Structures are given as C-alpha cells and as structure tokens.
C-alpha cells in the first residue's frame, strides 16, 4: 500500500509566531551550514597535517573520510531518534557535541586523536542534519512559507560545500591547520543559546523505542556502501576489501529493509518508496547531487593543478555560484505556482545537464569565464532541484515522522555525492591513463609511473625534470586531464537528460501546493 502523501499529523504543531519561526530558521540554518563547511574545510590543510602530525598515507585517508562515514551511517538512526525523544533536544545535544569535537580536532596532537575527533564530529553532525529539516517541517505550517524556508536551507547547504576552502585559505595563511575548526564552537554556542528560546520542541507522541537490530543494520549498510564507493576511486573496485565492503553493505541494507516491513514502528517507513512522488523526488535529488558534487571536486583539481591556482583563488572562483545558489533558493518557491513542481525539478536537472555539456568543451587552456558560465547555470539548476525535491520528501511523510523522512533525504544526498565523486573520478582517471603521452626525456621507472598516475603526480614529476622536459610533461598531463573532464561530464550530461524526462513523468500530478496542516 502506498504511503499517503497527505497523511494527517498526529501531533499538534507548536504555536510559533512569525518573527520567532524566521529567527529559528536562521539559527538552524547556521547549524546546518557549519556541518556543510566541515565537509570540505579540511581539504586545504592536508599538507600542513602531514608536516605537523607526521601522518601516514592511511591516516590521512581516515582523517579525510571518517567524518563522512560516521555522518552518513547514522543519519537514519538519528532522524528517527529525534522523532522519538524530541527534535530540539537532539539538535541542542548535537550542536554541543559538534562544538566540543571541533575543539578537540583543533588542538589534536596526534593523528589518532584527530581521527577520533572527526568521528565524533560525524556522529554529532548526524544528529543535526535531519533534525534541522524536520524542525522546519514542524514550525512552518504554511506550505508557501515552508517551501521558502526549505529553499533557504538548501541554498545554504549547497553554498557551504564550496565555502569551506574559501574560509580555510586565509586562516591557513596566517595560523596553524587546527584554526580551520575554531569557527565551529563559536557558531554552535550561539546556535544553542538562541535555539533554547526560539526553537519549540516537537516529537512523535506515539513513537516506540528504537529497534536495536535496525540501528546497526542501517549504519553498517550505509557505511559499507559509502566506504566501497570512495575507496574504489583510489584503488579500483576489484580490491578484496572493497568487494567485501560492498557485499556486507548490500546484505545489511537488504536485511534492514526486510526488518522494517515487519515492525509496527519501523526506523523508517520503507513503504514511502511505493509513493511515486517520494521515490521520484529522492531519485532526482540523488542524481542531481551525483553530478553537482562530483564535478565540483574535478573542477577544484582543474583550477589548482591545471592552472596552478592557489587554494584561496580556487575557492574564490566558486563564490559567484555560491551567492547565486543562496539567493535563488527562495525564488524557487515563488515559481512553483507558475511552473509546477515537476517542471521545476525536470528543468533544474536539465540545466545541470546543460552545464555538464558545457564542461565537455573546456580544454586545458580555457579561461575562467568558460567555466564560470556553466557554474552559474549549474547553481540555478541544482538549487531548483534540491529545494523542490526536499520539499516533496519532507511533505510525503506523516508530520510525526518528519525526522525519519529528513534522514532519508540527507542520506541519499550523501550517497549521491559519494557516488558522483567515485564515478566521475573513475572515468576521468581511465581517460587520463589512456590519453597521457609521456614525452621523450622522462626516465623509465618511477618518473614515468608518476606521470601516468594522475595530474598531481605528473606535476610533481615535472618539477624534478629538466625545464624543457618538465614543461612538456605538464602540457601533456593538462591535456589528458581536460580530456578526462570532458568525457566524464559529457557522459553525466546524457544521464541527466534521461533523468530529467523520468522526473517530469514520475512527478506529474504532484500538488503545486501542499495543504496546510489541519491543526494550523
């Protein structure tokens, strides 16, 4: 039986005045923005970490990845927990824990301590992300206001991914690597102090206890899949540990879904996926993030390695689309009555696809304008897609289970981003290895292997060769990298065009305006 899109809420919405709920929105968006920033803020600090903490290559990988693993693995559990114990309570706990873990990370004196701190950040982040969206669902009872609020939330999270390097650049220029974490405790402290007074408590009054079997099944399943996706980019999918992670992850998720269908109060209601509006919105959201995050990381390499830009300049190059995304989110809400949700989502994915086609013609020497135009188109398409899909997802579940629905949205976002990074990175690497031509004069052995390995490896090898040979290596590597970027984005563009058609068909008939809550 399909889940009821307009299932009535089982709890009375909190009485929240207009000024109070918009202040509450600002507060919870700041918490979500900090989590988004922390996904990318550490990227620029890796070289400093290697020098200061004497980290091994495996430790660097864990420092970079453990935050995302812990975050993705616990989103479903924490979203459902918020429905049970109270969303405000879980938000406050998560913010305090995240701020404390950030202080621990900033002053970590060993790689092990930093890995532990990043893991705690991920666990705390999992309590905050779905809670912020479910609070929006509960305090904005007017559907138009709710869509606008979700647009602001979506735009800030999208912008935060690219804001990380922009904020980290000047801090690393003047201070030590741990300084990139010091903004978090201050922001989270402010969020807690204000949220205590403006964010109302809400929960599902009829919720049962968490199923102790479902919790590890969901965590192991998601972490196994995310780990396999990310590691396959570095070492190839044929590695035994990656095959084992896929097998364990898939089996755990199958058992998790099977168990949810047999529980009276499941961790998540998997029957929601029988609702074509919900399933279509989740698919569109995941596909859009697949392209958005995947190509963003490739462009970062294109600027920093291909054009030798500093991390700060690379981050600043992403500022125009960030600003556009933040301000365009609320505009999407005003377009829904005129265009309809299905057309906005389909058009949004189509625009992301157009930007991918434009990246397909970027070459090794293209200027910034050649990349800026598709970046702006991508920002409009992504903001349109993510705003409306998040709105559909959160309105497709009964209000008392909004935390669980929010967790599904954020988990799919994590999976989409990880999958985009893996697939686009794999395509680029395959084309790079195939197209790179090692110039004459490069000695056989380690130097040749480094040139063929990646753009970064080629750049390092070129610095150790005579100037004329090194210059040829750089040009050959930049050209091969551009070819890889072209192929990866053109394939993605074709997939997005198909997804745009599927989304319009699947989401046809979705209400342009969801009804107000009966109790409002």
Q: Are 384 and 332 in contact (CB under 8 A)?
A: yes
pLDDT of residue 466: 74
Residue 295 has pLDDT above 70, yes or no: yes
Confidence of residue 161 (pLDDT cuts 50, 70, 90): low
Tell how many helices (H) and how many strands (E) occur in the chain.
18, 0
Instruction: Provide CB contacts within 8 A for 367, sequence distance 6+.
Output: none
Check residues 161 and 292 and name the one with the higher pLDDT: 292
What is the CB neighbour count within 10 angstroms for residue 323?
Answer: 14
Q: Which residues contact 356 (CB under 8 A, 6 or more apart)?
A: 291, 295, 374, 378, 489, 490, 492, 493, 496
Q: Is 228 exposed, middle or buried (0-12, 13-18, 19+ CB in 10 A)?
A: buried
Q: Mean pLDDT for the chain?
A: 79
pLDDT digit string (tens) for 101-154? Answer: 999 988 888 888 888 988 898 889 888 888 888 888 878 877 778 878 887 887
Model pLDDT for residues 376-409, shown as the tens digit of each residue = 999 899 888 888 888 888 777 666 676 777 777 7
| Spatial CA neighbour of 496 closest among 298, 288, 341 | 288
d(CA 508, CA 330): 22
120, two tokens? 């705690």
Cβ atoms within 10 Å, residue 14: 16
Number of Cβ atoms within 10 Å of the Cβ of 419: 20
Residue 447 has pLDDT above 60, yes or no: no
Of 164, 159, 152, nearest in space to 390 by CA: 152
Contact 310, 460 (CB under 8 A): no
């Amino acid at each position: 039986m399909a889940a009821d899109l307009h299932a009535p809420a089982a709890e009375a919405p909190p009485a929240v005045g207009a000024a109070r709920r918009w202040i509450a929105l600002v507060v919870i968006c700041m918490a979500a923005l900090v989590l988004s920033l922390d996904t990318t803020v550490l990227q620029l600090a890796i070289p400093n970490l290697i020098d200061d903490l004497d980290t091994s290559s495996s430790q660097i990988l864990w420092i970079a990845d453990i935050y995302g693993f812990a975050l993705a693995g616990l989103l479903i559990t924490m979203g459902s927990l918020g429905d049970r114990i109270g969303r405000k309570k879980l938000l406050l706990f998560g913010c305090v824990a995240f701020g404390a873990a950030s202080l621990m990370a900033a002053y970590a004196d060993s790689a092990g301590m930093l890995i532990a701190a990043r893991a705690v950040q991920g666990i705390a982040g999992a309590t905050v992300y779905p809670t912020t969206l479910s609070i929006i669902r509960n305090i904005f009872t007017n559907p138009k206001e709710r869509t606008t609020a979700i647009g602001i939330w979506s735009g800030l999270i999208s912008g935060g991914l690219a804001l990380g390097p922009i904020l980290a650049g000047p801090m690393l220029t003047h201070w030590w690597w741990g300084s990139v974490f010091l903004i978090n405790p201050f922001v989270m402290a402010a969020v807690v102090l204000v949220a205590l007074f403006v964010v109302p408590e809400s929960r599902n009054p009829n919720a049962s206890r968490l199923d102790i079997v479902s919790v590890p099944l969901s965590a192991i399943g998601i972490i196994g899949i995310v780990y396999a996706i990310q590691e396959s980019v570095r070492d190839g999918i044929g590695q035994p540990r990656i095959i084992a992670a896929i097998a364990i992850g898939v089996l755990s998720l199958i058992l998790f879904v099977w168990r949810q269908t047999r529980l009276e109060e499941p961790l998540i209601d998997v029957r929601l996926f029988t609702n074509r509006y919900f399933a279509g919105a989740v698919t569109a959201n995941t596909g859009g993030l697949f392209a958005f995050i995947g190509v963003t990381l490739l462009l970062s390499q294109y600027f920093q390695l291909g054009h030798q830009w500093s991390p700060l300049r690379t981050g600043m190059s992403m500022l125009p689309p960030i600003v556009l995304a933040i301000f365009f989110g609320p505009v999407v809400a005003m377009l829904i009555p005129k265009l309809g949700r299905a057309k906005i989502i389909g058009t949004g994915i189509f625009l992301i696809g157009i930007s991918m086609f434009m990246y397909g013609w970027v070459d090794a020497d293209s200027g910034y304008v050649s990349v800026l135009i598709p970046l702006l188109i991508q920002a409009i398409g992504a903001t349109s897609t993510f705003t409306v899909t998040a709105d559909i997802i959160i309105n497709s579940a009964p209000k008392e289970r909004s935390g669980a629905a929010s967790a599904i949205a954020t988990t799919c976002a994590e999976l989409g981003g990880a999958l985009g990074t893996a697939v686009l990175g794999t395509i680029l690497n395959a084309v790079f290895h195939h197209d790179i031509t090692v110039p004459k004069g490069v000695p056989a052995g380690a130097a040749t292997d480094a040139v063929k390995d990646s753009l970064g490896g080629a750049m390092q090898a070129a610095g150790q060769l005579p100037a004329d040979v090194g210059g040829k290596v750089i040009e050959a590597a930049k050209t091969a990298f551009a070819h890889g970027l072209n192929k990866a984005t053109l394939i993605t563009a074709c997939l997005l065009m198909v997804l745009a058609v599927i989304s319009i068909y699947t989401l046809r008939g979705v209400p342009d305006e969801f009804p107000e809550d009966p109790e409002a």
